[in-house]
Chain A
Amino acid sequence: MIQLYNVTKKYSGDSAAVKDVTLQIDKGDFIYITGASGAGKTTLLRMLYAAEKPTRGQILVDGQNISRIRSRQIPYLRRKIGVVFQDFKLLQSRSVYENVAFALEAQGKKRYEVSKKVYQALKEVGLEHRLKRKPLELSGGEQQRIAIARALVVDPLILLADEPSGNLDQDVTFEIMELFKRANARGTTVLLATHDHSLNQRFPRRVLTLDKGQLIGDQRPANTMI
């Protein structure tokens, strides 16, 4: 599903945010990307949804080489990818329903299709009763669940999550993890960047460890069927 070959990303200056990373992620994988702050987790994810282009190396997503992708094609790549952020990135002036519907409208889906799917997605994250609320009226955990509903409503092949539980307490974090697990069970490849090791202890999965931009570890749990 995702392949990286000798991928390096340098911003201005000499130090590389991501250095010579080569890895392969199969369809349906659930992967943690860990590492200290500044290890390159976010940059790696940003390259996967084409917000950044690698300075060197090749990236393939679903068979498409996105290292030199044309900006006109980026929207179509992003329709296969759901992204969840630490700060949720919700539109505060729009209702819960509108925030989730936004992702489908952006893809030009028909109205009746939008309302049906939005309701399903919100039901999936347990917020179907909050349709008309504004994000700020909800708790942090609920806001993150809206963001996840927005990412999943388009049935993405890949779900990228950048520190999705960074602002949430542990109980809420585990609820959110359940949502990711369920999406993964339906076939979505999940990449979750986090520095919270407790997640892996509770939900053991393949862990990629980055340090100063380099991939220094790739551990698979003994029993991947957990």
Chain B
Amino acid sequence: MLDKVRYFIMRALRNMRQWPFLCTASILTMAVALATVATFFLVVVNVEQLALRWTKEIQIVAYLEKPLPVRDVATLTKKLKAIPEVESTRYVSPDEAMKRFRKHLGEDASLLEGVGRDLLPASFELGLKSEFRNQQGINTVIEQLENILDVDDLRYGQKWLERFNSFARMLRFVGIILGGFLLFAALFIVSNTIKLTLYARRDELEIMALVGATMRFIKIPFMLEGAIQGFLGGVLSLAFLGLSFIFILSRSLESFWLAPTDFELLFLTPFQQIMLVLSGVLLGVMGSLSSLRRFVRI
């Protein structure tokens, strides 16, 4: 048994040595195909991550009918914080609102001279936990909010949220379609390359069948070869991806998306890296297997 395993491995390696050009072509094709799909995956993941960060800006602003006495602020804040969906609360007094407004106006702040300090209403600003930063989460919070506060008006960027949701949906849709196309193209190219490499060696396959080799005996070394090439292709694509991430992808994504400076671009997690190499192995084995079916006729 062990003898056979050793024989198959030796033959796979010897075949690769005997056909260096075909072998390199297979490895490179698989590396390029895997790197293309993985790059696309990285772009989608990062754009989605970035888009998720924008939802941090989502907050509910509840304008109150009248300013609260100082002693009530603490108790109400406590009650608001008790709402499960709420992450943060902040009371903005009319005074503070005016200060912000003044700052916002900048040089035009002089326009506010002579205006009363309590012109602007007091408000509570509520930040939501990330999993509730959507229409449904906002609705639940508002329901509970109205039981606690005398609310005059509510603002939560409804239009923005709708637009964001449709953008996120589109992003996912385009991602799946394009990713699917890429994956299909990659599979097509890889299987054709392997088919060509086997075509060049069809004499060998024919002679093997002629001298009484079983299907298994013919197929195993080729599958092993596919697995080794797929593994090397996977590792190569990972290296290529790492380099392009550092030198090209991270820079272009940062400038293109005007990412906030504290936004750190994501690379593949260790699990995803292993999956990338494993899919190379799988690609090699499946590619060899499907092509062998065509050329090996006993």
Which chain A residues have a beta carbon within 8 Å of chain B's beta carbons?
A: 49, 71-72, 74-79, 83, 89-91, 93-94, 102-103, 105-108, 110-111, 150, 154
Q: For the complex, would chain B's binding face be called helix, strand, loop or mixed by DSSP majority?
A: helix
Kindly identify which residue among B4, B19, B211 contacts A106, using a CB–CB cutoff of 8 Å: B211
8 of the cross-chain contacts (CB-CB < 8 Å) are A72-B215, A75-B217, A79-B211, A89-B203, A93-B18, A102-B208, A106-B212, A107-B211
Chain B, residue nearest A153 (CB):
B211
Please state if A103 and B212 are interface contacts (CB–CB under 8 Å).
Answer: yes
Tell me the smallest distance from the CB of B17 to a CB of chain A, in Å: 10
Distance of A106 Cα from B209 Cα, bound (Å):
9
Please state if A103 and B204 are interface contacts (CB–CB under 8 Å).
Answer: no
Distance of A108 Cα from B5 Cα, bound (Å):
12
Please state if B214 and A75 are interface contacts (CB–CB under 8 Å).
Answer: yes
Kindly identify which residue among A49, A75, A91, A150 contacts B213, using a CB–CB cutoff of 8 Å: A75
Residues of B within 8 A of A90 (CB): 207
Distance of A76 Cα from B208 Cα, bound (Å):
13
Please state if A91 and B203 are interface contacts (CB–CB under 8 Å).
Answer: yes
Distance of A94 Cα from B181 Cα, bound (Å):
41
Residues of B within 8 A of A91 (CB): 203-204, 207
* B173 at the binding interface (Cβ < 8 Å): no
Kindly identify which residue among A71, A83, A107 contacts B210, using a CB–CB cutoff of 8 Å: A83
Please state if B212 and A102 are interface contacts (CB–CB under 8 Å).
Answer: no
Distance of A71 Cα from B296 Cα, bound (Å):
12
Q: Which of B204, B212, B214, B215 has the most CB of A within 10 A?
A: B212
Q: B249-275: which have CB < 8 Å to A?
A: none
* B87 at the binding interface (Cβ < 8 Å): no
B56-76 interface code vs A (CB 8 A; 1 in, 0 out): 000000000000000000000
Query: Given the interface contacts A74-B298, A75-B298, A93-B19, does A106 sit within 8 Å of B213 by beta carbon?
Result: yes
